[in-house]
Every structure is written in C-alpha cells, then in structure tokens.
Amino acid sequence: MPTSAAAAAVRDLGEEVWAWRAAQRPRSSDDIPRMDRPPGWVPDWSRDAVAAMRRRRDELAARWQTLDVGSQPVAVQVDHRLIGSVLARVRWELELLCSWQRDPSFYVDQTLGVVFDALLQPPPFDATRADDVVRLLASVPATLEEARTNLDPVAAFTRVALTNLAAVEAQLPAAMTALSPLLPASARDPLAAATARARAALVSYREWLVALLPELGGRPAVGRDAFVWFLRHVALQPATPEEMIAAGRREWHRAVALEQVLQARHRAVPAPPLLPTVAAQVAAQRDAETAVRAFSEEHDLLSQPDDLRRYRFAPLPDHLAPLAWLGVLDDLTSVARPHDDAVRYVPEPSEDIGFFDLANARDPRTGIVHEGVHAQQLALGYTHPDPLRRCYYDSGANEGIAFYNEELLLQAGLFDDAPHSQLTIARFLRLRALRVEVDVRLATGDLDVAAAAALLAETVPLDEATAAEEAAFFAATPGQALTYQIGKLQILRLVSDASRLRGGAFSLRRLHDELWRNGNVPLSLLRWELLGLRDEVDALDPDAAQR
C-alpha cells in the first residue's frame, strides 16, 4: 500500500526531530533514554546554544502543528503524537523544569555523566572510543563555566550536588588510571592531561557551590500546574496527580498485605546465603537467564526468539566502580547496537551493598525479571519496522512493562522454589507503589527531599544511601518515579480490556509480544492502536498541546 503524503511528512519530520534530539537532549542518569550521539559530539549549554535550541524547537513545533493527520491510519496518528511529545519534552526541560538553571547536578550529568555513559559499553576501547572519552573529559571545564553563567541554584539541589562531588578529586583519577591500560597507547597521555584539567574544574565548581550555599533558598518543586502540563503533553498520561496518589496508596496496601501473607507462609524458611563471589553470581545469572526465558516460553507468556539478545551480569570493572554513583550500572545498548548482549555490572556480593544489588546477589532472577526485561524490550524496539518507534522513549511504558513483568512471573510460579525471592518481589511492589506518592508530592511541593528520603527509608524499608539517592533523583526528574506503578496499572487495564474485546481470539502471549515490541510508546497511545480505545487519548486534551 503506497505511503500517503501526510504519512511521509510525519515520517520525515520525525526523523529530523530524532536526529536533532540526539545532539540536543541533556544527559540523565536514567538508564532508558540513552541515545547515540553524533560523531564528535560534546555538550553545549552556553546561552547561545540554549537560545538556538528554543528557536529550533519552535520551528519544528510549528511544522508539526501544520500536519493534518486526522484521516490517516491510527499508526500514523500515533507517530504524530510521539513527535509532539518529544517537542513538548524540550519545552519542559528548557522552560518549566529548568534544571539547567536550578540544579547544579545537571552539570555534573553533562560532564562526568557523559563520561560515565561512554565507559558503559564493555571493552575493547578502540581508537574511536578512546577519542570519545578524551574529548568528553576535555569538554568538562567549558561546560562548568557555562554552569556558573546559567545557574541560580536551589539550595536542596545544591546540597545533593555537593554530596555527590565530595570525593570527586579521588574518584575521577582512580577511574581514569584504571581505564588507561585499556586504551591505545597513543590515547594515554591525552587522557591523563584531560583528566587533570577536568578534576581541577570539578573541584573548583564544588568550591564555588560551597561558597554560594549559605545564601541559597528556592523550592525544588515545579508546582502542580507545570507537573500536570508534563503529564498531559510529554508523558501523554491522562490521570491526575490526586488519582495517581490514590492508586499508589491502594497498591501499597496490597503489597504490604501480600508481603505479610508471604512472611507467614515462609516464616520457618531462613534467607538464602549470598552467592560467594562475583564470579559465582555471574555464572548463576547466566543459567538463570536461560531458565527465565524457557519459563516464559513454556507458560505461553512471551515469545523468546533465538536471535533475541541476552542479558548478562559482569563484574563491576575498576574504571567504572569509582563513578558508579553517576547512573545505573548497565549497558542496554542503543539503536546502533540492537543485537549486542546487554550487560549489568555487579559488585562483589556483600551485606553492605545496596538494596537491588543485594537482591541480585541472593537470586539473580530478581534483576532478570526487571532489568532483563528492559534489555529484551529495548532490543525489540530498536529493530521496530517503524523508525519513529525506535528512538522515542517513555518511562511509563518502559518501566511499566518491567514492573508488570515482576508480578506476572511471581504469579506464574517462577519463584515457587525461592520463598525469600517471593518476599523480595513483594518489597519491590511496595517500593514502586510508594514512589508514586513520593514523586507527586515532591513535584507539587508537598514533600521536600529530606522528608522523601526518610519516608522511603522507613516505609519500604530501604538502606539510607539508596533512599537518599532515590529521593534526590525523583526531585530532579518529576514524573519518572511514578511510571513503574502507574504504567503497570495501565497495562493491567489493557490486558483486561483486550481479553474482553478479543474474546476467544485473545492470547496473553500475543498481547505481550505486541506490548514488548511497541514498548517505547506511551500506553495511552498503545491502548488506542492495539484495541481501538480512545478514552485515555481523548482525556489528554490534545488541542491544548504546544500552547
């Protein structure tokens, strides 16, 4: 069937927007939205660059608004809305969230964070990769000078940045010293020189923030109006903040009740020991990943093609360990590497490691059923026949699918042989449910960062370091933490309605295959495309978009 002029215009504009976004998008410590940057890319947050971003966004948005797709197939209309969401996100970042003006950690992400991302792909480090690392390190001083020009920082965000930068003068050299032998010999002296300059700039930036802190105030919250705008126009999420809090509380109560039932059922079963070494954990995870895939096939839950890439654990390397606080320790690859195995770096098993690492050190399946799902879902999305579905990302779908999968496999019996892992999944349910309230109340200003960390530490419970890390991240990225639970609830509704509408033709496996393949697309749009149900889309008030 020939492509219509309108459909071609949507495709062409989308590809242009995606290419621009790859260079323009600010770095985030979230593991999902990592994109392939253009060759030779370095961050640029000068005032001229920000002004150019705004002009380009306005130009693209004007072209987007002129496209008339009302008579086009639903798939084309969905692609059109994806483009609108991307352009709305740029407005959100530059004009409403304004991390580039309010949050000193934003510039830690645009300096050390982009270096961390460049290190995530496993070795070898050829000349091109070595040049990338050196170039990004060399850009650190200029980016931090831009920070001093742009920032009117909020006190709470500044304290988070200072905590994260407390040992940077030791961490960065330690990481680069460990990296140096892995690089071509010709890159080692440039690496050392760029490291020294970046270290000095980061220390100077920290000292500048220390001097500013006594005079700082400000509120981290974006406020309810801006938050609702984000939900409607960026996340394409129709629920109100109040509806989300109510749903999260109901799910929290359900998770607590489930945990109590499991504790009573398994009260005489001791917790299993940690795997003895990281090598043993890597080997156990390899076997477990194969078993989980077989389980999904045998129980008719999800297709597992032979050519679908694997998800592997690997020991945390010395060149990443000092910078581990900068992001999630996995390489989920990208559109350019869809068939590479995804990798999760894990530390040596110990009772002192964080909440999620500790769960993986007892039973690697607890990570496979979430992060491993990201690896599979993204690999499928990266090869989607529609190119506009490959680069778009949406935490509501991405995280909702992974969180939904955790309880799906618990209910299907994957953890019947592991009582403690059943309890771990119940605690995951409790954490993700609580995140909804924390996220919304941080965004609307009903909760501050310290109170959010205390709530997470006491109520999940989480170790204090993980709780502080989560609260700081959620405050800086409104709308991300709620996506696990709210996305999962949207999926449960999708499954229920699909079973009703498809009747005898309904197949849970087929629906999951459709969902995983299109899992970069907001669930309100997938509900429309897969089931023909427009209720969530109509609730978004699309006519208000881009005003």
Containing 315, the helix (H) or strand (E) segment is strand 311-315
CA distance 100 to 113: 14
Phi-psi category of residue 153: left, alpha or beta, with phi > 0 → left and psi -120 to 50 → alpha:
beta
Containing 366, the helix (H) or strand (E) segment is helix 365-368
Residue 345: phi, psi to the nearest 5?
-90, 130
**pLDDT recorded at residue 315:** 98
**pLDDT recorded at residue 543:** 53
Phi-psi category of residue 54: left, alpha or beta, with phi > 0 → left and psi -120 to 50 → alpha:
alpha
Q: Are 348 and 48 in contact (CB under 8 A)?
A: no
CA distance 229 to 106: 22
pTM here? 0.95
User: Which residues have a Cβ under 8 Å from the Cβ of 476 and sit 6 or more positions away?
Assistant: 99, 103, 105, 106, 157, 160, 220
Q: How many CB atoms lie within 10 A of CB 390?
A: 18
Q: 416: exposed, middle or buried (C-beta count within 10 Å: 0-12, 13-18, 19+)?
A: exposed
CA distance 544 to 547: 6
**pLDDT recorded at residue 547:** 38
**pLDDT recorded at residue 458:** 84
For residue 153, whether the previous peptide bond is cis, meaning omega lies within 30 degrees of 0, is no
Spell out, as residue ranges, where the chain has pLDDT lower than 70: 1-2, 542-547
**Which residues are 312's β-sheet partners?**
343
**pLDDT recorded at residue 1:** 41
Put the strands of the sheet holding 330-331 in their side by side order.
311-315, 342-346, 330-331
**pLDDT recorded at residue 467:** 82
CA distance 32 to 522: 14
**pLDDT recorded at residue 545:** 41
